[in-house]
Amino acid sequence: MYRNLTIRQKQIVWAWAFLAVPVIFYAVIRFYPTANAMVISFQDWNLLGTREWAGWENYIKLWNDPDFWQVFRNTFVYLILGTPISLVISFLIAYHLDKTRFMHGFIRMLYFLPFMTSAVAMAWVWRWFYQPVPTGLFNNFLAQFGIPQIEFLRSTTNALPSILAPAVWAGLGFQIIIFMAGLRAIPQSYYEAARIDGVSKTATLFEITIPLLKPTIVFLVVFSSIGFLRIFDQVFNMTTNDPGGPLNSTKPLVLAIYQSAFTDFDMGYAAAQTVVLFLILLLVSLFQLWLMKDR
């Protein structure tokens, strides 16, 4: 049968044969676990025993669980604060770094280094920074000026910003590199025309640079939002003694899923939380793409 095919048909067969390998791999790695998690969310399972059908029981429990709503709020605080702060800081650094010629490559490498560093190691270093006197770097610095020490990780008001800071810092390197690539892609003819017309630097920034960076901004907004919605490493390692911080003030949804699954061994409830997280990621990504698309 294969011998009777034309050259064009044989090319199509080979193309589908090569495409089948990554498609099957992606289906096994992504689609099957996602579908299985949705099924488990309707079941009662402790990871070792048999699965029992529970219907909407896990979702009803989720709806009536005040801890879940606290975790839900924390997750969106990470998103709402982390995404714009990280984008603004990374853009400002990239904008000025793009104009710097002295040791440009070395400075860019320094900014990118935190992104390449292990999140676990970085979290423990920042945890050391936040320790009280005489261990913590920040409190020791404040003590030199007679300022009372701050409970960074043991306060319900300070814990979440204290964890958000290293999370933002860790992602700056990647965002700076992407912003710089976007800035380099803007044709210089636009800036030359603006200089000839006497357009100010501020007007050039808001009328030329930022509009032409829109595809880059859309990508980074979606990428950063997904990262903050899935934040886990910093919270888990910086609040090891009290996972989730005091009164769950820093616990994100991913950490709640981890504890439900591997501490409480309630896989059905953990799967229900996973489905909620999946829907949040999907809706946030679609909304941002719709909001920032060209009209």
Q: How does pLDDT run across 71-99, given as a tens digit for each residue?
A: 999 999 999 999 999 999 999 999 988 88
Altogether, the residues listed in the chain come to a count of 295
Alpha helices, DSSP H, located in 117-266: 119-129, 137-143, 159-184, 188-196, 201-204, 210-212, 214-229, 233-238, 253-262
Amino acid at site 22: P
What is the CATH architecture assignment of 65-291?
A: Orthogonal Bundle (1.10)
Contacts by 181-190 with C-beta closer than 8 Å and gap 24+? 181/216, 182/212, 182/213, 182/215, 182/216, 183/94, 183/95, 183/98, 183/209, 183/213, 184/98, 186/212, 186/213
Q: Which residues contact 49 (CB under 8 A, 6 or more apart)?
A: none
Is the pLDDT reported for residue 2 higher than 70? no
Token reading at 198? 């006497």
Is the pLDDT reported for residue 292 higher than 70? no
Least confident range from 27-36, 49-58, 286-295: namely: 286-295
Q: Cα separation of 204 and 271, whole Å?
A: 49
Centre a 10 Å sphere on the Cβ of residue 21 and count the other Cβ atoms it contains. Answer: 9
Confidence of residue 62 (pLDDT cuts 50, 70, 90): very high
pTM (2 d.p.) = 0.85
Distance between start and end Cα atoms, the chain? 50
Please tell me the number of Cα atoms within 13 Å of 239 on its side-chain side: 29
Q: Residue 211: is it exposed, middle or buried by C-beta count within 10 angstroms (0-12/13-18/19+)? A: exposed
What is the domain partition of the chain in residue ranges? 65-291
**42-81 burial: b if 16+ Cβ within 10 Å, else e:** bbbbeeeeeeeebeebbbeebeeeeebebbbebbebbbeb
